[in-house]
A and B are shown apart, each in its own frame.
Chain A
Amino acid sequence: MSAIFRKELADHLASKRFLILFFLVLLAAMFATYTAIQNIRGVVTPSTEFIFLRIFTLSGGASLSFLFFLALFIPIISIALGFDAVNSERTSGNLSRLLSQPIYRDSVINGKFLAGLAILAMIIVTVIAIVAGLGLRIVGVPPGSDEVLRLIFFTLISVIYGAFWMALAVLFSVLFKSSTTSILASIGLWLFLFVFMGVIAGAIANTMVPLDQNSTMGVIANHYEISGAIGRISPATLYGEATSALLTPERASFNPALIMMSTYTGRMETPLPFNQSLLLAWPQIVGIIALAAICFAISYTRFMREEIRSI
Chain B
Amino acid sequence: MGQVVVETKDLTKAYNGFTAVDRLNLRIEEGEIFGFLGPNGAGKTTTILMLIGLTEPSSGTAQVCGYDSTREPLKVKRIVGYLPEKFGFYEDLTPRQNLRYTAELNNLPKGEIEEVINDLLATVELSQVADLEVSKLSRGMKQRLGIADIWIKEPKLVFLDEPTSGIDPNGIDDILNLIVKMAKKGMTVIFCSHQLPQVQKICTQVGILARGHLVAEGPIARLGKQATGGGQYSIEAEVAQANPELIDPIKHVAGVMEVQSSGNSLLISCAKDLRGQIAKVIVDSGSLLVGMKIEEYSLERIYKKYSKEA
Contacts and interface: CB of A to CB of B under 8 A. Distances in A.
Contacts of A99: 54
Nearest to B46: A309
A104 B87 contact: no
B87 A93 contact: yes
A307 interface: yes
Given A4-B105, A92-B90, A92-B91, A102 B74 contact: yes
A7 B105 CA distance: 10
A164 B24 CA distance: 46
A208 interface: no
Interface string A274-311: 00000000000000000000000000000000011111
Contact of B55 (A14, A94, A104, A307): A307
A96 B78 contact: no
Given A92-B88, A309-B15, A309-B49, A102 B106 contact: yes
A14 B78 CA distance: 30
Contacts of B87: 93-94, 96-97
A151 B88 CA distance: 45
A169 B154 CA distance: 37
Contacts of B80: 100
Interface string A1-28: 0011011000100100000000000000
A7 B104 CA distance: 10
A238 B68 CA distance: 49
A3 B84 CA distance: 22
Contacts of B233: none
A309 B21 CA distance: 12
A307 B84 contact: no
B89 interface: yes
B55 A101 contact: no
A99 B78 CA distance: 11
A101 B49 contact: no
Interface string A105-137: 000000000000000000000000000000000
Interface string B78-120: 1011101011111110000000011011110000000000000
A103 B105 contact: yes
B88 A93 contact: yes
Given A92-B88, A307-B55, A98 B46 contact: no
A3 B55 contact: no
Given A3-B101, A3-B105, A102 B78 contact: yes
B29 interface: no
Contact of A96 (B56, B84, B105): B84
B265 interface: no
B41 to A, nearest CB: 10
Interface in B173-192: none
Nearest to B90: A94
B82 A100 contact: yes
A86 to B, nearest CB: 14
Given A103-B105, A309-B46, A94 B54 contact: no
A88 B53 CA distance: 23
Contacts of A307: 54-56
A133 B201 CA distance: 71
Nearest to A101: B105
Contacts of B82: 96-97, 100
B55 A100 contact: no
B84 A93 contact: yes
Contacts of A310: 45
B149 interface: yes
A307 B77 CA distance: 16
Interface string B54-69: 1110000000000000
A187 B250 CA distance: 80
A101 B98 CA distance: 13
Interface in A188-234: none
Contacts of B104: 3, 6-7
Given A100-B80, A101-B77, A101-B106, A311 B149 contact: no
Nearest to B74: A102
A128 B80 CA distance: 48
Contacts of A311: 54, 84, 86
Nearest to A4: B105
A4 B104 CA distance: 9
Given A97-B149, A308-B49, A102 B105 contact: yes
Nearest to A311: B84
A28 B100 CA distance: 38
A309 B55 contact: yes
Contact of B77 (A3, A96, A100, A309): A100
Given A93-B84, A94-B89, A310-B45, A100 B105 contact: no
A96 B55 CA distance: 12
A253 B232 CA distance: 93
A311 B149 CA distance: 17
Interface of B: 15, 45-46, 49, 52, 54-56, 74-75, 77-78, 80-82, 84, 86-92, 101-102, 104-107, 149, 153
Given A3-B101, A99-B54, 7 more contacts: A94-B89, A94-B90, A96-B84, A97-B88, A100-B52, A307-B56, A311-B84
26 contacts: A3-B104, A4-B105, A92-B89, A92-B90, A92-B91, A93-B84, A93-B88, A94-B88, A96-B87, A97-B82, A97-B102, A97-B149, A98-B105, A99-B54, A101-B106, A101-B153, A102-B77, A307-B54, A307-B55, A307-B56, A308-B49, A309-B15, A309-B49, A309-B55, A310-B45, A311-B54
